[in-house]
């Protein structure tokens, strides 16, 4: 399936452009064993002319046939190329950018390419229950690898210490896997364990 780049997309989002749109499909909790629970997920990546993608993922538990049983959770966040902030950039808060977009050409974006041939990215994701994650990683073509730099928890949040996520575009489908560390469990030292995975198709 060819990737169509929106004509109004700010240049520094071009490496992330294959994510833009609505995705939905099914997945399994844990490592996907035969008795692990099923879920359905709807994911959207949208843009508004600024140098980041807005992310929202809503999930429901389902039975084996895919019938939705009840809501599972919602995530929201922002995805962007990781680069030094310039005077022309907006923020903090409502301070407007001097120039939109700050990076105006493919050559300026290409200068951000890392030594591995990809682009460094940052992703912030917030969850119900007072948990927020800050990921750093890389996008290289249709592949993304992310690891948490920080997990922020509220005073009554459940224990959660680290995570990794991987995404890939394979034959037009978005595949992802999420591993987490909760600080407890069967893994020695409370290390990363399989949390969930899914295969999503483009809905629009």
Q: Which domains does the chain have, with CATH numbers?
A: 11-80+95-202 (2.40.128.20)
pLDDT per position as a tens digit, 39-72 = 999 999 999 989 999 999 999 999 999 999 999 9
Lowest mean pLDDT among 111-115, 157-161, 169-173: 157-161
d(CA 80, CA 89): 13
The pLDDT value given to residue 99: 82
Rg (CA), the chain: 18
Structure tokens at 155: 């005073």
The pLDDT value given to residue 186: 44
Report the 10 Å Cβ neighbour count for 34.
Answer: 5
* pLDDT at position 108 over 80: yes
pLDDT per position as a tens digit, 137-159 = 999 999 999 999 999 999 999 99
Percentage, residues of the chain above pLDDT 90: 85
The string of DSSP letters for the chain reads -PPPPPTT--GGGGGGGGG-EEEEEEEEETT--TTSPEEEEEEEEE--SSSSEEEEEEEEEE-TT--EEEEEEEEEEEEEE-----TTS--STTPPPSSSSSS-SHHHHHTTB-TTSSEEEEEEEEETTTEEEEEEEEEETTEEEEEEEEEEE-TTPPP--EEEEEEEEETTEEEEEEEEE-S-SSSGGG--EEEEEEEEEE--
Q: For residue 143, count CB atoms less than 10 angstroms from its CB and return exposed for 0-12, middle for 13-18, buried for 19 or more.
A: middle
d(CA 125, CA 151): 10
What are residue 15's phi and psi, to 5 degrees? -60, -25
The pLDDT value given to residue 4: 58
The pLDDT value given to residue 42: 98
The pLDDT value given to residue 79: 98
* pLDDT at position 82 over 50: yes
The pLDDT value given to residue 6: 59
The arithmetic mean of pLDDT across residues 72-101, rounded, is 94
Lowest mean pLDDT among 85-94, 119-128, 177-186: 177-186
The pLDDT value given to residue 156: 93
* pLDDT at position 80 over 60: yes
d(CA 167, CA 189): 26
End-to-end Cα separation, the chain, in angstroms: 13
Percentage, residues of the chain above pLDDT 70: 93
d(CA 124, CA 106): 25
Average pLDDT across the chain, whole number: 92
d(CA 202, CA 101): 28
């Amino acid at each position: 399936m060819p990737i169509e780049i929106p004509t109004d997309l700010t240049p520094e989002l071009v490496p992330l452009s294959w994510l833009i749109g609505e995705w939905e499909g099914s997945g399994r909790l844990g490592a996907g064993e035969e008795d692990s629970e099923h879920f359905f997920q709807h994911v959207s990546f949208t843009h508004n002319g600024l140098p980041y993608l807005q992310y929202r993922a809503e999930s429901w538990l389902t039975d084996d046939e895919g019938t939705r049983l009840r809501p599972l959770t919602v995530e929201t966040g922002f995805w962007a190329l990781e680069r030094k902030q310039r005077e022309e950039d907006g923020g903090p808060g409502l301070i407007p950018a001097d120039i939109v977009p700050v990076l105006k050409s493919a050559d300026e974006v290409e200068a951000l390419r890392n030594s591995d041939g990809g682009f460094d990215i940052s992703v912030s994701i917030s969850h119900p229950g007072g948990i927020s994650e800050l990921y750093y990683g890389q996008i290289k073509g249709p592949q993304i690898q992310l690891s948490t730099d920080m997990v922020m928890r509220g005073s009554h949040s459940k224990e959660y210490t680290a995570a990794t996520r991987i995404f890939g575009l394979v034959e037009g489908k978005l595949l992802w896997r999420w591993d987490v560390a909760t600080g407890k469990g069967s893994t020695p030292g409370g290390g990363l364990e399989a949390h969930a995975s899914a295969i999503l198709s483009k809905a629009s």
